[in-house]
Amino acid sequence: MKIAVVGATGMVGSVMLQVLAERKLAITELLLVASSRNKGKEIVWEGKKYVIKDLAEALECRPDIAIFSAGGSISKQWAPKFAAIGTTVIDNSSAWRMDVDKKLIVPEINASYLTKEDKIIANPNCSTIQMVLALLPIHRNYGIDRLVISTYQSVSGTGVKAMEQMNNERVGVKAEMVYPYPIDMNCLPHGGDFEENGYTTEETKLVNETRKILGDNDIRITATVVRIPVFGGHSEAVNVATKKQFKINDIRRELAATDGIVVQDNPDVNLYPMPLYARGKDDVFVGRIRRDESNPNTLDMWIVADNLRKGAATNALQIAAYLIDKKLV
């Protein structure tokens, strides 16, 4: 099993290698791939030195699986080339997510849809992944009518330069600004680019990807994305209106029984999810589960996860593990 990690020198790529070491996939050969400017550099992984290849060299090696974390333009250009030689591409960018011919996969929800013919598989947006996993039992048991989403997203979701901006601000250094305003001691209601309707691209992803993954285009969804001065971990306040009546204790029980979900919900002892304690973990944490007393058949919940792990690297590697286990590659 020959696996290529494209974007191995980036932030998600480094987390990918960490998770790969933890999960012990049955790899016979690992290819670490990055841009031409990083070609020839060395990375030590599991005690062994690996020389960085560029994409052309990686293509010649004909990997069984290539996990892309190198941005949408690179994926658009190179993923079809890898797919054409029989490589299965798992792509972390937004390039293929809404392509009607490409599957958008959260393994706990819809990995069973994958076949040998799927040569480009899309990994959802980090904020979408953690939310739909928590929505899964609710949608299955009660049907979701409407979602009102407010996110509190780590600067790490913007990339390493955003983290550097916040670090510089904390020590009083004036340097490159990734955001239009300071992020430390601040909140920016601005994720992605603004569109004509006043929503941002990050907000639109939450709408479209949620419908595609849950297989229901009739769910009404509105979202507000906010960047907050946190190094790792995305948080979401989600208001869920259901089609059927529910009992809150049943919702808690069903969430706790969902693979990949950890319920942390005991206000009596101040137990609720926080990004500080989600960092470095693969689970999605759910708490503050309560009935919305202003609207029938509606509940509120608070969802937190490490955006670089379950929101990116871990989800991609879970897809890879499923493909290997089911002999789809």
Condensed to tens digits (0 to 9), the pLDDT of residues 201-243 reads: 999 999 999 999 999 999 999 999 999 999 999 999 999 999 9
**Domains of the chain by range and CATH?**
2-124+312-325 (3.40.50.720), 127-306 (3.30.360.10)
Condensed to tens digits (0 to 9), the pLDDT of residues 281-317 reads: 999 999 999 999 999 999 999 999 999 999 999 999 9
Which residues of the chain fall short of a pLDDT of 70? none
Quick one: pLDDT at residue 26? 85
Out of 139, 187, 190, 234, the active site residue is 234
Task: Quote the Cα angle for 257-260-262, to 5°.
Answer: 65
Task: Give the integer Cα–Cα distance in Å for 41 and 282.
Answer: 29
Instruction: Please give the C-alpha separations between residue 296 and each of 160, 246, 247, 278, in angstroms, as whole numbers.
Output: 43, 10, 12, 32
Quick one: pLDDT at residue 24? 86
The residue count of the chain comes to 329
Question: Does residue 187 have an active-site annotation?
Answer: no
Q: Specify whether the backbone of 128 is left (phi greater than 0), alpha (psi in -120 to 50) or beta.
A: alpha
Specify the pTM: 0.96
Say if residues 73 and 96 touch (Cβ distance below 8 Å). Answer: no
Question: Does residue 126 have an active-site annotation?
Answer: yes
Q: Which of 202, 200, 296 is nearest to 241 (CA)?
A: 296
Out of 61, 126, 187, 190, the active site residue is 126
Task: Give the integer Cα–Cα distance in Å for 179 and 165.
Answer: 8
Beta-carbon contacts of 195 under 8 Å, excluding residues fewer than 6 positions away, are: 201, 204
